[in-house]
Amino acid sequence: MIRVFKMPLEVAAFADSVRRQGKRLALVPTMGFLHDGHVSLMREGASRADMVAASIFVNPTQFGPNEDLSRYPRDMAGDLAKCERAGVSVVYAPEPAAVYPPGYQTYVDVTNASQGLCGAKRPGHFRGVATVVTKLLALFRPHVALFGEKDFQQLKVIEALNRDLDLGCDIVGMPIVREADGLAMSSRNAYLSADERKRALALSRGLLAAQALVRGGESEVEPLLAVIRRELQASDVREDYVEIVDAHTLRPISRIEPGVPSRALVAGFVGTTRLVDNMSV
């Protein structure tokens, strides 16, 4: 039977007992409304540790004032069933006041990895992500924590805070899980109407077209950006950003160099829904 904790003290006692028993613990932090991408993280966690814990918390500090905090999709009963099926034994599902009690004043800023891309378009977003993830890693003290590569910049931010704050966790990035037609799985896909769902394919189609150009020998970045933008425009997806970056530093590049991993990242609005996707190129 899956255990659900609401308070940090319960998690701390649980984490102590896991450590005392000499067991390895995996943590999968989530905001709930789970899909197969989350399940892949949980199953990988189960293969790397003796126990898997998940958190389900729609973290208010990572939402901007005009973003979708109040309407973010939620389904606690469905999520708990999915967690149980994926081998999770403990879920931490706190209320916001348990994470940010009155008088709360400590935030984590990851300066470099939070620059540009989503960091530039969503001011304060990564401060909220870094703060909650640091709190979760400090509370659970997991041996391994798993995150999806769909939020590629977020993964870099978390790797940096884990390194810089000596948290000693093994941070694992897992490949994007896609629907059969290529759409990257995301809890926010639930917002899309049938027509928007079709138009949303422009993100993955553009990235695949860029990947195909590189495989065909293109090494200049401009034509890659152009082919992605063409797909967005053809489907009436409003670009938030399209960039090709060095996959380690996230700095924009102008040429793909052999042996240097690079990543194409895109964010766009389909109607009012903002979606992100990325692929290695």
Q: Which residues bind ligand PAF (CB under 6 A)?
A: 29-31, 59, 62, 129, 132-133, 151, 154
CB atoms within 10 A of CB 261: 12
State in angstroms the smallest separation of the CB of 91 from ligand PAF.
13
Strand order in the sheet with 262-270: 238-246, 262-270, 273-280
State in angstroms the smallest separation of the CB of 132 from ligand PAF.
5
| Short-list 90, 87, 93, CA closest to 2 | 90
Is 38 annotated in the active site? Answer: yes
Q: Strand pairing partners for 28?
A: 54
Q: Which is nearer to ligand PAF, 135 or 199 (CB)?
A: 135
State in angstroms the smallest separation of the CB of 12 from ligand PAF.
19
Strand order in the sheet with 25-30: 3-5, 90-92, 51-56, 25-30, 144-148, 170-174
Q: Which is nearer to ligand PAF, 96 or 182 (CB)?
A: 96
State in angstroms the smallest separation of the CB of 136 from ligand PAF.
8
Q: Which is nearer to ligand PAF, 89 or 131 (CB)?
A: 131
**Rounded distance, CA 112 to CA 228, Å?**
26
State in angstroms the smallest separation of the CB of 6 from ligand PAF.
17
Q: For residue 59, give the 3-state DSSP assignment.
A: coil
Q: Which is nearer to ligand PAF, 78 or 223 (CB)?
A: 78
What distance lies between CA 89 and its chain's CA centroid? 22
Q: Which is nearer to ligand PAF, 154 or 278 (CB)?
A: 154
Q: For residue 116, give the 3-state DSSP assignment.
A: coil
- Selecting among 35, 38, 125, 143, the annotated active-site residue is 38
Helices (H), the chain: 8-20, 36-48, 76-85, 96-99, 117-121, 125-140, 152-164, 194-199, 201-215, 221-234
- What amino acid positions are annotated as catalytic residues? 38
